[in-house]
């Protein structure tokens, strides 16, 4: 089987560059039958996607799924990442010794080689010398001004933004896109600099622009580079390869410590951050900070600049749009992970715990992870959804997920984390009316779930009972009124009158019994 990178090249060369299958097979040194098979699979998957729902997640996964291959007989490589790190460490120590005037104590190439052998690494002396020679090359760098074609290159980078959110100091991460031709700036804030945020940033950018650039430029960020192969070769992450195949764009990486190779976005990160938050860095929510960031970018894109040929970036972007590729349906920017449900009926992600229905204890659930939400599936069926939280070691519990267990253990409700995490109105109703009858409250919640009623219907029913029969507020009465919400108004009025009459009868009988008891007590005392 071929690698994910070669599959990406096959797709791009055929459907973007229009190269024949024969030429692709010759360039990549792959059998023509293999090239034809992957092209036909890709074409069939895209036809199925566009002939049905363009946002179907299963069909999108079929388009960008990686090839599978047997890696059992893969040979061991001599030069490993551990050796690379150890050599870099030793060269760094040499540099420190040179700075302290201890150059005579520096390790030579043969000393580094002998150290690696003593550590148990299997590496040749020639390989060590070659790497060190490449590492120690000293050459002055010349800056070459570039000329860009419309729609050709767009650069991406991350930047840290420290803001005060709801009174707390938070570090957010700003994803910034800047096309090289128009210098148009687009940015958004995320809580994490992770793969899910990386994917969603690209999806939103392409939808915002209304097109896809020919080449995307990245530095050596972890979400884009899976690992380094030697000094200059980088292996892209699977997420980046999927994006490239789906949107049909090419990509390249900058050299190490060469931010000038993506100077447009390098400058944009500092510029946009300063213009957006130098005057105001305090916001009630992260969404408010994102709104401020969007407003600033819109303003900058409508201003004239000496770096944009005397034109506004938004006008140059209009020229670029004629050269951009069409945007397909929105790419599913989630990450899929599997979790085992523990005895508390929760899954743990990034130290936080999220509840799932209690009948899944001990089972495996699939979770789609987005920057703003988590969607849980079991046996390909959606079971629940949570807002993604960025706190640490917190419990986020849905009371409805524990109704089956609480029905058998009603006494556990009062002190449970499930009730503690419930909305305030739910806790207030339980404390005021059902603290001594937790089983009735659980039955009421089951009734609401079975009839797909919101808890707001309970509060409305209680308010009506306060006006009609305040001495008889029970779960059964609330259920009756909840069902009466769908009845005609006349029936409801009749029902309220009947409830009041029954309540008055109970009150009168209780009063008569109390008077009889008082009379008997008075006779006994005399």
Q: What share of the chain is helix, strand, coil (3-state, %, to 5)?
A: 50, 15, 35
Q: What are 369-391's pLDDT values in tens digits?
A: 999 999 999 998 999 999 999 88
Summarize the confidence of residues 46-51 as an average pLDDT: 73
Rounded to whole angstroms, how far apart are CA atoms 470 and 499?
10
The answer to whether residues 411 and 438 touch, using CB atoms and an 8 Å cutoff, is yes
Secondary structure element (H or E) that encloses residue 167, with its range: none
Q: Which of 337-346, 434-443, 496-505 is the most confident on average?
A: 337-346
- Compute, in degrees rounded to 10, the torsion defined by CA atoms 369, 455, 397, 425: 120
Summarize the confidence of residues 246-257 as an average pLDDT: 87
Averaged pLDDT of the chain:
83
- Banded model confidence at residue 491, pLDDT cuts 50, 70, 90: very low
Burial grade of 10 (CB within 10 A; 0-12, 13-18, 19 or more): buried
pLDDT score of 288: 93
What one-character-per-residue DSSP string does 174-221 give? Answer: EEEEEETTT---EEEEES--SHHHHHHHHHHHHHHHTSB-SEEEE-S-
Dihedrals phi, psi of 186, to nearest 5 degrees: -135, 130
Dihedrals phi, psi of 470, to nearest 5 degrees: -65, -15
Burial grade of 447 (CB within 10 A; 0-12, 13-18, 19 or more): middle
For the chain, the domains span 4-64, 81-123, 153-321, 335-396, 411-505
Rounded to whole angstroms, how far apart are CA atoms 351 and 391?
8
495 has pLDDT over 50 = no
Secondary structure element (H or E) that encloses residue 4, with its range: helix 4-15
**CB within 8 Å of 87: residues ≥ 6 apart:** 112, 116, 128, 131, 132, 135
- Banded model confidence at residue 57, pLDDT cuts 50, 70, 90: low
308 has pLDDT over 50 = yes
Q: Of 66-80, 215-229, 300-314, which range is least confident?
A: 66-80
- Banded model confidence at residue 103, pLDDT cuts 50, 70, 90: low
413 has pLDDT over 60 = yes
CA geometry: angle 351, 355, 360, nearest 5 deg = 120
Which of 357 and 483 is assigned the larger pLDDT?
357
Neighbours of 428 (CB within 10 A): 12
Which of 11 and 317 is assigned the larger pLDDT?
317
- Banded model confidence at residue 76, pLDDT cuts 50, 70, 90: very low
pLDDT score of 504: 53
In percent, the amount of the chain with pLDDT more than 90 equals: 37
The answer to whether residues 220 and 253 touch, using CB atoms and an 8 Å cutoff, is yes
433 has pLDDT over 80 = yes
pLDDT score of 179: 93
Q: What is the CATH number assigned to the segment(s) 153-321?
A: 3.30.420.10
Three-state SS for 337?
strand
Summarize the confidence of residues 151-175 as an average pLDDT: 92
pLDDT score of 110: 87
Q: What are 274-305's pLDDT values in tens digits?
A: 899 988 889 999 999 999 999 999 999 998 87
pLDDT score of 7: 79
In percent, the amount of the chain with pLDDT more than 70 equals: 82
pLDDT score of 104: 65
Q: Left if phi > 0, otherwise alpha if psi is -120 to 50, otherwise beta: which for 452?
A: left
What does the block give as tokens for 120?
């148990």
Q: What is the bridge-based pairing of β-strands 352-355 and 346-349?
A: antiparallel
509 has pLDDT over 60 = no
Dihedrals phi, psi of 81, to nearest 5 degrees: -65, -35
Tracing tokens 């209690």 back to the chain, one arrives at 358
Secondary structure element (H or E) that encloses residue 161, with its range: strand 153-165
pLDDT score of 497: 46
Three-state SS for 521?
helix
- Banded model confidence at residue 359, pLDDT cuts 50, 70, 90: very high
Q: Indicate the angle between helix axes 57-64 and 32-51, nearest 10 degrees.
A: 160
pLDDT score of 488: 46
Rounded to whole angstroms, how far apart are CA atoms 164 and 55?
36
């Amino acid at each position: 089987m071929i690698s994910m990178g070669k599959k990406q090249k096959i797709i791009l060369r055929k459907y973007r560059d229009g190269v024949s299958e024969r030429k692709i097979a010759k360039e990549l040194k792959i059998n023509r039958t293999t090239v034809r098979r992957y092209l036909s699979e890709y074409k069939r998957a895209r036809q199925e996607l566009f002939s049905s729902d363009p946002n179907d997640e299963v069909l999108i996964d079929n388009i960008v799924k990686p090839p599978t291959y047997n890696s059992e007989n893969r040979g061991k490589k001599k030069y490993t990442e551990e050796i690379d790190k150890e050599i870099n460490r030793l060269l760094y120590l040499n540099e420190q010794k040179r700075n302290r005037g201890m150059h005579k104590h520096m390790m030579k190439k043969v000393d580094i080689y002998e150290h690696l052998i003593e550590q148990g690494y299997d590496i040749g002396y020639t390989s060590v010398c070659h790497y060190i020679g490449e590492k120690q090359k000293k050459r002055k760098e010349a800056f070459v001004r570039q000329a860009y074609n419309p729609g050709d290159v767009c650069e991406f980078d991350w930047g840290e933004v420290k803001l005060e959110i709801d009174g707390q100091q938070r570090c957010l991460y700003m994803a910034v896109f800047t096309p090289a031709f128009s210098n148009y700036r687009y940015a958004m804030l995320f809580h994490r600099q992770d793969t899910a945020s990386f994917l969603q940033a690209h999806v939103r950018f392409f939808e915002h622009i209304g097109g896809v650039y020919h080449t995307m430029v990245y530095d050596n960020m972890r979400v884009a580079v899976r690992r380094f192969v030697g000094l200059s070769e980088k292996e892209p992450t699977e997420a980046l390869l999927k994006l490239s195949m789906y949107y049909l764009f090419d990509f390249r990486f900058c050299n190490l410590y060469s931010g000038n190779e993506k100077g447009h976005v390098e400058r944009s990160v500092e510029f946009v951050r300063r213009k957006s938050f130098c005057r105001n860095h305090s916001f009630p929510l992260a969404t408010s900070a994102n709104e401020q960031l969007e407003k600033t970018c819109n303003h900058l894109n409508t201003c004239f600049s000496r770096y944009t040929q005397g034109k506004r970036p938004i006008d140059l972007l209009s020229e670029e749009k004629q050269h951009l590729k069409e945007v397909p349906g929105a790419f599913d920017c989630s990450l899929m992970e599997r979790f085992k449900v523990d005895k508390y009926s929760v899954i743990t992600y990034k130290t936080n715990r999220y509840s799932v229905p209690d009948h899944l204890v001990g089972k495996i659930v699939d979770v789609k992870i987005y920057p703003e939400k988590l969607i849980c599936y079991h046996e390909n069926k959606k079971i629940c959804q949570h807002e993604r939280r960025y706190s640490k070691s917190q419990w986020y519990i849905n009371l409805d997920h524990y109704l089956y267990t609480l029905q058998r253990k009603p006494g556990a409700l009062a002190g449970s984390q499930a009730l503690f995490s419930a909305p305030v109105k739910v806790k207030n109703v339980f404390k005021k009316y059902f603290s001594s009858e937790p089983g009735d409250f659980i039955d009421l919640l089951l009734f609401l779930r079975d009839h797909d009623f919101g808890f707001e219907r309970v509060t409305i029913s209680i308010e009506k009972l306060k006006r009609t029969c305040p001495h008889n507020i029970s779960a059964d009465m609330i259920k009756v009124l909840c069902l009466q919400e769908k009845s005609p108004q006349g029936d409801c009025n009749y029902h309220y009158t009947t409830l009041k009459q029954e309540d008055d009868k109970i009150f009168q009988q209780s009063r008569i019994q109390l008077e009889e008891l008082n009379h008997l007590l008075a006779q006994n005392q005399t």
